[in-house]
Amino acid sequence: MSRDGVSIIPLPSAQRVQPGDDLTALLLTTLERHGVAPVDGDVVCVASKVVSLAEGALVDLPPGDPRAARRELARQQAAEVVAEAPWVLITRTVHGFVAANGGIDASNVGGDGALLLPRDPDASAAALRAGLAAATGRGIGVVITDTFGRPWRRGQTEVALGVAGLPALRDERGGVDLDGRPLEVTEAALADAVAAAADLVRRKDTGTPFVLVRGLDTAGLPDGTGADLIRPLSEDLFATGGPTAAERAVARRRTVRRFAPGVAVPAHVLAAAVAAAGTAPAPHGTRPWRFLRLRHATRHRLLDAMATRWRADLLGDGVAEEVIARRLARSDAVLRTAPELLLPGVRLDEAHHYPDERRRRAERDLFVLSGGAALQNLQVVLAAHGFGTAWISSTAFCPDTVRDVLALPAAFEPLGMVAVGAPATPPPPRGPLAADGLLADV
Ligand SMILES: Cc1cc2nc3c(=O)[nH]c(=O)nc-3n(C[C@H](O)[C@H](O)[C@H](O)COP(=O)(O)O)c2cc1C
């Protein structure tokens, strides 16, 4: 920063940028119209949107609901899906940026399409810098900016995607603090700070593609690029999770009994969860688990038959009619309305046969236990994708009814039902995990 501090000058422009437009020319006329004569060391922040528009990066959205379509487009364009939940898709773009919906923009793009990020923001920044130098004889830095969220912090800020003519990072490692202690990790994200500063004078509802930042003191620091700000994957501690992530993923599973209406469980999420279920340990190296996805008519046919059976059981126990009605209604509220209903089971065909009841029972229990492990995996992975599950006992109490209605073999042992959907309200977080009372030395 110079002694006079830093000035941040918005440079609004009413011109709608079209594919093929010359951004250097537009920037020069905008500066002139605002009576701003650039000087050496000025930095121009350029909204990535106008760079993308000039590049002609507007694409048609896939058909359907626009939000889902934008998400689908982000998936198609992504190098990798980093995280996914019903309300957000975070991807790593081919450039290496990690952003919600891969930074694909649908607001203020002048139509129904969506705008991809600039192809090469550093190259665009360098070209603008060169164009400005040729026209003005001044050394002007350029930062191409976009709006990104940050992990663990609310709100979005402007960040630097492309940088030319100024440092991207200010490396303070090797220096000392006021107390003379060595600075070991400080690397200031200078270009991100410049991008965020520019946003102080820009509003989404005003066309302000350019902002001039004057008075930065970057003397003696080498120029950088936007790519300098991307943490190499080899340093990414979060990609592989680690033990803490595994504990959190497990703790995140909560029984959810009320689902958001109209939010479908995507087929690829269900497939990922069932694939995880299939990694459960099982006796004799078998793969005994099955997940039957109940279609609408099948679901109601099965639930009707189970209700008749349950009613008969409860009447036999002497339970009053109104109590039975209440219990059935409570169960229906989950099982008949859940966006997906799975019937999990284990196949006992490959269980070993024993002549005595003690060992036959142990063998059956082991297969059922393996089913429990698979179901836990399924639920944990669904929870990691932001979907809630309720594992309901139901079918375990009427296996014959289930096998009859669905024409299943006698070796199919039902393990309850699993209702799946987006939670109607976020499930409450668990308290701290503790092994107290569960682990004993003997
Ligand atoms: C084998 C099994 C059967 C269950 N059956 C039911 C059920 O019939 N109805 C129900 O509301 N919850 C059922 N649950 C869910 C438990 O009530 C729930 O796991 C427990 O309250 C702990 O809450 P959490 O899952 O959020 O940790 C069942 C859970 C398991 C493991």
Where are the chain's structural domains? 7-57+118-235, 244-421
Give, for all 442 residues of the chain, the pLDDT tens digit: 556 799 999 999 989 999 999 999 999 999 999 999 999 999 999 999 999 999 999 998 878 888 888 888 999 899 988 888 888 899 999 999 999 999 998 776 766 789 999 999 999 999 999 999 999 999 999 999 999 999 889 999 999 999 999 999 998 877 777 888 877 777 899 999 999 999 999 876 668 999 999 999 998 899 999 999 999 888 877 766 667 778 888 988 999 999 999 899 999 999 999 999 999 999 999 999 999 999 999 999 999 999 999 999 999 999 999 999 999 999 999 999 999 999 999 999 999 999 999 999 999 999 999 999 999 999 999 999 999 999 999 999 999 999 999 999 999 999 999 999 999 998 888 887 788 888 888 9
Distance between CA atoms of residues 114 and 247, nearest Å: 38
Residue 240: the pLDDT is 63
The pair of three-digit structure tokens given for residue 235, joined into one six-digit string = 């340093």
Distance between CA atoms of residues 71 and 85, nearest Å: 11
Distance between CA atoms of residues 49 and 121, nearest Å: 11
Report the nearest atom of ligand 1 relative to the CA of 415: 1
Assess contact for 194 and 160: CB atoms under 8 A.
Answer: yes
For residue 391, the CA-to-ligand 1 centroid distance in Å is 6
DSSP string across 66-113:
HHHHHHHHHHHH-SEEEEEETTEEEEE-TTS-EEEGGG-B-TTSSSSS
Residue 290: the pLDDT is 98
Q: Write the residue with the smallest CA distance to atom 12 of ligand 1.
A: 392
Residue 427: the pLDDT is 87
Q: What is the largest CA-CA distance in the chain?
A: 96
Contacts of 282 (CB under 8 A, 6+ apart): 288, 289, 367, 370, 373, 374
Nearest to 166 by CA among 220, 204, 119: 220
For residue 258, the CA-to-ligand 1 centroid distance in Å is 14
| Ligand 1 and 416: CB distance under 6 A | yes
333 phi, psi to nearest 5 deg? -60, -30
Instruction: Give CA 24 to chain center in angstroms.
Output: 36
Query: Which stretches within 78-228 are classed as H helix?
Result: 121-136, 190-199
Q: Which fold has domain 244-421?
A: NADH Oxidase (3.40.109)
Nearest to 112 by CA among 58, 51, 56, 71: 58
Residue 242: the pLDDT is 66
Q: Which of 255, 256, 310, 415 to mutate to test the pocket of ligand 1 (most atoms within 8 A of CB)?
A: 255
pTM beyond 0.85, yes or no: no
Relative to beta strand 43-47, strand 141-150 is parallel
Residue 57: the pLDDT is 93
Distance between CA atoms of residues 351 and 367, nearest Å: 8
Distance between CA atoms of residues 305 and 308, nearest Å: 5
- In sign, the C-alpha dihedral spanning 202, 206, 209, 214 is negative
Q: Under DSSP, is residue 349 helix (H, G, I), strand (E, B) or coil?
A: coil
Assess contact for 228 and 190: CB atoms under 8 A.
Answer: no
DSSP 8-class letter at 338: S
Distance between CA atoms of residues 61 and 153, nearest Å: 30
CB-count burial class (<10 Å; 0-12, 13-18, 19+) for 377: buried
Residue 245: the pLDDT is 77
Assess contact for 391 and 379: CB atoms under 8 A.
Answer: yes
Residue 302: the pLDDT is 98
| Ligand 1 and 289: CB distance under 6 A | no
| Ligand 1 and 255: CB distance under 6 A | yes
CATH of domain 7-57+118-235: 3.30.1330.100
Contacts of 341 (CB under 8 A, 6+ apart): 293, 294, 299, 335, 417, 418, 419, 420
For residue 261, the CA-to-ligand 1 centroid distance in Å is 22
Distance between CA atoms of residues 442 and 91, nearest Å: 48
For residue 255, the CA-to-ligand 1 centroid distance in Å is 6
Beta partners for residue 259, in sequence order: 423
Assess contact for 213 and 43: CB atoms under 8 A.
Answer: yes
Tell me the CA distances in angstroms from 92 to 72, 74, 192, one per residue in order: 14, 10, 18
Assess contact for 34 and 11: CB atoms under 8 A.
Answer: yes
| Ligand 1 and 433: CB distance under 6 A | no
Assess contact for 165 and 141: CB atoms under 8 A.
Answer: yes
